Amino acid sequence: QVQLVESGGGSVQAGGSLRLSCAASGRTNDLVMGWFRQAPGKEREFVAIPHWSDGSTVYADSVRGRFSISRDNAKNTMFLQMSSLKPEDTAGYYCVGDPIIGRHWNSGLVDYWGKGTLVTVSS
């Protein structure tokens, strides 16, 4: 089993920045991680996930150039650096993981989900 715990959410004004963290524990040896988000009243969408063929990071069009992923492998932690935040970035952000990359990532059909952290961007 794997446990994913997000932190770093909060309230920020438009144009600001936040860094989310996701700490993984348990069977993390082959774990691939990514981020999804879900805004109130909207469907969940991927933010940054591994490409189905080679595992390189794919960013959603809406965040490309503003968000970036980094990792501290020694601490089994992944970060989501969010810059130039917009009100439409307001959502619950979820860390996800799965030992296998593939097309199932696009729809969020992965094995592990964190409980999420809320990001609120005010105009």
pLDDT at 56: 93
Contacts with 29 (C-beta within 8 Å, 6 or more apart), sequence order: none
Cα angle 1, 114, 42 (rounded to 5 degrees) comes to 140
Average pLDDT in the 65-76 region?
95
pLDDT at 103: 92
Instruction: Report the alpha-carbon distance of residue 67 to residue 83 in Å, rounded.
Output: 6
Q: Could you tell me whether strands 10-13 and 67-72 are parallel, antiparallel, or unpaired per DSSP bridges?
A: unpaired
State percent of the chain over pLDDT 90: 95
Q: Say if CB 96 and CB 113 are below 8 A apart.
A: yes
